[in-house]
């Protein structure tokens, strides 16, 4: 546990926290003293072990399953998490799926799958928890977007569109909710290799990824988790409607090369996006 627990007494829901960045975000909030509701769609084991880790450290946590492509499930998750927590101070919209697919091969079903999870599910979950946050006198919403919202990459037209939508939605919602005591911001992570990346590209090397980043190394989930806690804390009380890019300098770099001319070797989305 941290010496100074910035989230002591706070009630937090983190979506997509069974694996990767979301799991570490949930653990970091718990380290900072929060009671945490974790959400997962498929990664029950990861969510369960995170809950166990939090409980063994003396914290309080529980995991809930929901398919955020279904609005009814998003609303049920909101109700169950708020009931467990006894209210809500912080929502971290981390859940999201990715896919790389040549533009002309994208199907309507694949398009809808990404937008339903990454944008629609996030939107209506946030709407569903809003009353609980207002009853607590306000709070903070932190949503995960991506550097794909700002930089183009081959075969990512659908995914990038969803992440760009989150940036715009964050900015607009922040203006609507700030007068009501709720700060809304987003994080755009750069290269942070997690389990799904290694499944899609089994030969991926962390050393090779790091060489392509100005800072010289790939990010880790905790690099993003600490920023999420910061944005939800009173330390960020004057930050509203912003998307904080956390990418080791990637989007500040002007790359020249012909990688955009070749199809990708990796295949993201297999197993959860139809037709891949």
The catalytic residue positions are 159
Q: Each residue of 238-275: b (16+ CB within 10 Å) or e?
A: eebbbbbbbbbebeeeeeeeeeeeeebeeebbeebbee
CA atoms within 13 A on the CB side of 89: 18
Question: Token digits for 193?
Answer: 């290799």
DSSP codes of every residue in 165-195: HHHHHHHHHHHHHGGGTEEEEEEEE-----H
Rg of the chain over CA atoms, in angstroms?
18
DSSP 121: I
Classified as helix, coil or strand, 234 is: helix
Contacts of 82 (CB under 8 A, 6+ apart): 13, 88, 129, 132
């Amino acid at each position: 546990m941290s010496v100074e627990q910035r989230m002591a007494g706070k009630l937090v829901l983190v979506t997509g926290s069974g694996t990767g960045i979301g799991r570490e975000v949930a653990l970091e909030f718990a380290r900072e003293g929060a009671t945490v509701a974790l959400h997962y769609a498929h990664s029950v084991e990861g969510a369960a072990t995170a809950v166990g880790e939090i409980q063994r450290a003396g914290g309080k946590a529980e995991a809930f399953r929901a398919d955020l492509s279904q609005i009814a499930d998003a609303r049920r998750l909101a109700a169950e998490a708020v009931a467990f927590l006894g209210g809500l101070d912080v929502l971290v919209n981390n859940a999201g799926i990715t896919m790389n697919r040549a533009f002309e091969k994208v199907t309507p079903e694949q398009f809808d799958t990404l937008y339903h999870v990454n944008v629609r599910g996030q939107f209506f979950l946030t709407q569903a928890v809003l009353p609980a946050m207002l009853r607590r006198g306000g709070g903070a919403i932190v949503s995960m977007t991506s550097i794909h919202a700002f930089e183009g990459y081959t075969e990512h037209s659908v995914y990038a569109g969803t992440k760009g939508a989150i940036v715009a939605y964050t900015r607009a919602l922040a203006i609507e909710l700030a007068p009501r005591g709720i700060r809304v911001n987003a994080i755009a992570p750069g290269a942070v290799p997690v389990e799904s990346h290694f499944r899609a590209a089994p030969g991926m090397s962390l050393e090779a990824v790091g060489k392509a980043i100005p800072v010289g190394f790939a990010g880790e989930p905790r690099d993003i988790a600490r920023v999420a806690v910061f944005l939800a804390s009173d330390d960020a009380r004057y930050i509203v409607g912003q998307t904080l890019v956390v990418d080791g300098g990637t989007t500040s770099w002007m790359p020249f090369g012909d990688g955009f001319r070749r199809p990708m070797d990796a295949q993201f989305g297999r197993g959860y996006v139809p037709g891949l």
